[in-house]
Structure 1
Amino acid sequence: MAKTSPGRFFEDYHPGLILDHAVPRTVTEGERALYHALYPARHALQSSDDFARACGLPRSPLDDLAAFHIVFGKTVPDVSINAVANLGYAEGRWLRPVYPGDTLRARSEVIGVKQNSNGRTGIVWVRSRGENQRGETVMEYVRWVMVRKRDAASPAPAPVVPDLRDALSPSDLVVPEGLNFTNYDFALAGERHRWGDYEVGERIDHVDGVTIEEAEHMMATRLWQNTAKVHFDATQREDGKRLIYGGHVMSLARALSFNGLANAQLVVGLNGGTHANPCFAGETVRAWSEVIDRAEMHAPGVGALRLRLVATTGGEPFVRKNQDGKFSPNVLLDLDYWALIPR
């Protein structure tokens, strides 16, 4: 009897399949230190216990995208170990802060499948949830991934494409219990810009850039226990390159957005996201943002901004798509998210 597994292929998925993912992960302070070592992350709420307590939280929570990466990593062996590429996200919500000492696990449900016209790959949609040690859902999201078939000659399943929302509404967003920005310290946060200073349609060039090193992206992918072969095994691609984990680009862009959005403290909603082009070591990631919408929240002093975060490898700022409607070859990531900011 074989003791090893090649992982699931496209033929192994069907709508309604429930995947309980292995290896729960207890979060420690080391998680925060490593995240801040890998990215220029410096939002005050995730950096200082004192700052977090002044904002009504018991202590500084783990960075929202770090929590996302941990949950995402749990799902990879069952969802995308044989993936060609992770394609996009929708309907993501952060429901509870994650603190050092919490133990996270993940569960997914397959909600759609569709074979590609080449007959060698197919798209699989899953809704994944991360839970803490008390069984509380801390976050949930939908993603879709292109997965290799085991046998190109195997029959195609009946296509099921889920009907996903274009965006979350402000009423879908969950503000952490106790969050209060009425005594927010703008000097300690690093910028004076509050909710009312941002206009819908405004674009912000985040100025800075980070060149991706092979060692750093490999460390990050291992840190999140992401086992997708294309990130580790250079023989998985014809060009002999290891594909950068899309979440690595996501965290780099979010960290770069501090310059101009230092007070967008908490990511609470993921409306959509696309990894537009592959990223490889040696490339320099830059970022710009666009304000799509604004909303007042019920918590004291708290507002929400809907932001488009675009990561690029350079070129003209604020160029997302070409005249033909396709993403510019310089665009790596197009992320549409909601963040909480003081009013």
Structure 2
Amino acid sequence: MAKTNPGRFFEDYTIGETIHHAVPRTVSGGERALYHALYPARHALYSSDEFARNCGLSASPLDDIAAFHVVFGKTVPDISLNALANLGYAEGRWLKPVWPGDTIRSTSEVIGVKQNSNGKSGVVWVRTRGMNQHDDVVLEYVRWAMVRKRDVDAPAPETVIPDLAKVVASKDLVVPEGLDFTDYDFTLAGEPHRWGDYEVCEVIDHVDGVTVEEAEHMMATRLWQNTAKVHFDATLREDGQRLIYGGHVISMARTLSFNGLANAQIVAGLNGGTHANPCYSGDTIKVWSEVLDKAETAAPGVGALRLRLVATKGGEPFTLKGDDGKYLPHVMLDLDYWALMPM
């Protein structure tokens, strides 16, 4: 009997089942160093222990998106090893910081399935939770992926599409314990712009661009132990290209948004997200943001901005969808998130 794991296919998922993902990961300062080398991230709260202490934390935690990658990577062998594409996200909340020395593991509950009309694949929705060594949930989110069928003749399951919130309510955002921005050092952070300087509907061009390299993408994907075949095996796609991990695009976009949003220090909520078009090696990522909403929090000096983060590969600036309502071909990522920043 074969001992290897071919991964799950669409017909292998059952509504309500909980999947306990293998291989917990203990994180260290090495994750931060590699993350900052790959992207390179510059937000001060995640770069300096002293800056973080001045903001009421005991030290600098792991970058929020890096923590997301660790949790996400655990799920890939069970959820998206045979995926054709990772389609979107909703109801994401960062509940506790991840500190160097924490051990992270993940579980996922299957909350939706829908077979595609071609009968060759289907969409699976899961709610994933990442826990630390104390069984505290550090992160939770919903994602959905298009997964191949093993047997195209297998009967279609009953369709269940989960009813997901379009936005995480600002009152449900969790501010890290002790966070205090009343003595925030704008000079060290790199920009003077605070919460009150941003207006709803304001659009920010983040100016800079980065061309994606095959080697960097594969190193990043391995770093998070993401084993999805389409990111490594070029023979799986008719075009003969490796598909760049969508999380790599998210991290690059978040990093590029520093220029204009340097004080959007903490990612606290993930309202929605779509990988609108594939990214390949050689594509140049450029980024713009739109302010969608603003909210106050109970933490001293801390406000929340709801932001749309859009990553493109050329095309007309600040464009998103065509007259037909579909994403334009140059749009790779449309991410809706909450960030915490000084008021």
Look up the match of 1:40: 40
Secondary structure of 2:42's aligned partner: coil
Secondary structure of 2:111's aligned partner: strand
1:170-185 map, 5 Å: 170-185=170-185
1:89-238 map, 5 Å: 89-238=89-238
Look up the match of 2:290: 290
Alpha-carbon offset, residue 99 of structure 1: 0.8
1:68-87 map, 5 Å: 68-87=68-87
Structure 1 unaligned regions, length at least 5: none
Look up the match of 2:4: 4
Report the Cα distance in structure 2 between the residues aligned to 1:18 and 1:255, rounded to whole angstroms: 33
Moved over 6 A (4+): none
Alpha-carbon offset, residue 276 of structure 1: 0.1
Amino acid at match of 1:254: R
Secondary structure of 1:249's aligned partner: helix
Report the Cα distance in structure 1 between the residues aligned to 2:51 and 2:29, rounded to whole angstroms: 17
Verify: 1:64 aligned to 2:74, yes or no: no
Alpha-carbon offset, residue 40 of structure 1: 2.1
TM-score (norm 2): 1.00
Secondary structure of 2:114's aligned partner: strand
TM-score (norm 1): 1.00
Report the Cα distance in structure 1 between the residues aligned to 2:207 and 2:195, rounded to whole angstroms: 21
Alpha-carbon offset, residue 228 of structure 1: 0.3
Residues 73-118 of structure 1: per-residue CA shift (max 9 Å, x gap): 0000000000000000000000000010000000000000000000
Residues 127-158 of structure 1: per-residue CA shift (max 9 Å, x gap): 00000000000000000000000010110000
Give percent identity, aligned residues only. Answer: 76
Report the Cα distance in structure 2 between the residues aligned to 1:7 and 1:213, rounded to whole angstroms: 28
Secondary structure of 1:72's aligned partner: helix
Secondary structure of 1:248's aligned partner: helix
1:253-292 map, 5 Å: 253-292=253-292
Amino acid at match of 1:41: A
Alpha-carbon offset, residue 317 of structure 1: 1.5
Secondary structure of 1:253's aligned partner: helix
Verify: 1:305 aligned to 2:305, yes or no: yes
Amino acid at match of 2:192: R
